[in-house]
Amino acid sequence: MTNPTYDVVAIGNAIVDILSPAEDDFIAENGMTKGAMQLVFSTEEADALYAKMGPGREISGGSAANTLAGMAALGGRTAFIGQVADDQLGEVFSHDIRAAGVKFDTPVRPGQPTTARCMIFVSPDGQRTMNTFLGASHYLPAEALDKALIADAAYLYIEGYLWDPEEPRAAMRAAIDVAREAGRKIAFTASAEFVIDRHRADFHALIDGGMIDVIFANETEIVALTETADVEAAIAFLKGKVETLVVTLAEKGALAQRGDERVTVPAHPVDKVVDTTGAGDLFAAGFLYGQTNGHDLKASLTLGAACAAEIISHFGARPQVDLKALAASL
């Protein structure tokens, strides 16, 4: 097995985030569940909700893309596979991810639907309520995969959100086969409880088949995935089935379980929580950067917690400080 050119290649939704402050009453009046993510199924519905937003900021997002942008900011070698349309938001996304230092060469898709967007309403306490129109991102074909690129990365990182639609799900299955044949590791982020509820059997089949090396999940997601009573029961269920389990615990920090080794770290201090968008994505960035650069579990978790703290201190899911300097200060 040759040394990889890239640390991580990820497959995920190519989304432009639109963030706007909103009061809790507005969220309730518009039928949203505060702090949750719900899907918007049509362009018309997306346009109507967008019209209700106050002044906003457009920032390229997408869970796996955010993780790669964070890794690149730390100095990691990353590449992204995701589908945008031939439109203005597609140009914004493509420019932003390449400018962040991430390789992105997936061909654009002509015609409708438009590039995906996520309308994020940020409450005064920093909680984000997401309304996602997945548009073109749900039409990533297996033919768009760069198999040589996948085989040339230490990790293939799979975004759970993209498992929902049939076409990219088939693409990710093909990518897993390529990575496994090349002897690379596969990391999976659970993304959200509703994704797990719809595809639990698929995820269990991958886990039981030895196709997942690393799982990233928060407390709710790991319990939902395993259908157990609590985090400890979930860890016991998965121990021995995956090489490494990483669980984020919000203000309680995070833990990693690898075999019989258990490591925990506290949450990194932050003056004020402004926007929790992307906290898990940047935690994964710090952890994966640590793992691909020879750090132990504790150092990797500590870096993940620091990156997550930086993200929640401002609007948007892309870093605004020098993450290399942040890492050096730990």
Q: pLDDT of 233-270, one tens digit each? A: 999 999 989 999 999 998 899 999 999 999 999 988 88
Give kind and range of the element (H or E) at residue 301.
helix 297-312
Residue 329, C-beta contacts closer than 8 angstroms, at least 6 positions apart:
none
- On the question of pLDDT at 41 being above 90, the answer is no
Q: What is the pLDDT of residue 58?
A: 84
3-state secondary structure 19-82: EEECCHHHHHHCCCCCCCEEECCCHHHHHHHHHHCCCCEEEEECHHHHHHHHHHHHCCCEEEEC
Q: Is residue 119 very low, low, confident or very high in pLDDT (cuts 50, 70, 90)?
A: very high
Beta carbons of 190 and 215 less than 8 angstroms apart? yes
Q: Is the pLDDT of residue 4 over 70?
A: yes
Q: Measuring CA to CA, how many Å separate 303 from each of 7, 65, 211, 214? A: 16, 18, 26, 17
String of DSSP letters for 260-280: TEEEEEPPPP-S-----TTHH
What band does 317 get if pLDDT is binned at 50, 70 and 90? confident
Residue 76 has pLDDT above 90, yes or no: yes
Indicate if the pLDDT at residue 276 is higher than 80.
no
- The mean predicted confidence, pLDDT, of the chain is 92
Residue 1 has pLDDT above 70, yes or no: no
Higher pLDDT residue, 223 or 17? 223
CA gap 81, 79 in Å, rounded: 7
pLDDT at 38 > cutoff 90? no
Sign (positive/negative) of CA torsion 161, 28, 222, 309? positive
As given in the structure block, the two tokens for residue 123 are: 């409450």
- Which option is the CATH number for 6-13+62-112+136-328: 3.20.20.70, 1.10.10.10, 3.40.1190.20, 2.70.98.10? 3.40.1190.20
Q: pLDDT tens digit string along 132-177? A: 899 999 999 999 999 999 999 999 999 998 998 899 999 999 999 9
Is residue 155 within 8 Å of 186, Cβ to Cβ? Answer: yes
- Cα–Cα distances in angstroms (integers) from residue 37 to residues 32, 66, 97, 119, in the given order: 9, 17, 23, 10
Whether the Cβ atoms of residue 315 and residue 307 lie closer than 8 Å to each other: no
Question: Residue 206: pLDDT above 70?
Answer: yes
| 32 touches 20 (CB < 8 A) | no
Question: Given a cut of 80, is residue 316 above it in pLDDT?
Answer: no
- Domain residue spans of the chain: 6-13+62-112+136-328
Average pLDDT over residues 297-324: 88
Which residue type does 242 have? V
pLDDT score, position 71: 97
What percent of the chain clears pLDDT 90, i.e. is strictly above it?
71
Question: Which two three-digit tokens encode residue 86?
Answer: 């031939």
Top pLDDT among 328 and 174 is at 174
Digit-coded pLDDT (tens) for 20-36: 999 999 999 999 999 88
Q: In this structure, are residues 42 and 189 in contact, taking their beta carbons and an 8 Å threshold?
A: no
Q: Find all residues with CB under 8 Å of 33, minimum gap 6, and list them.
A: 129
- Cα-based torsion angle of the residue sequence 6, 12, 13, 14 in order, rounded to the nearest 10 degrees: 10
Rounded to two decimals, the pTM is 0.89
Q: How far apart are CA 200 and CA 88, in angstroms?
A: 36
Looking at per-residue pLDDT, the higher value among 255 and 277 belongs to: 255
Q: In the beta sheet, which residues pair with residue 128?
A: 122
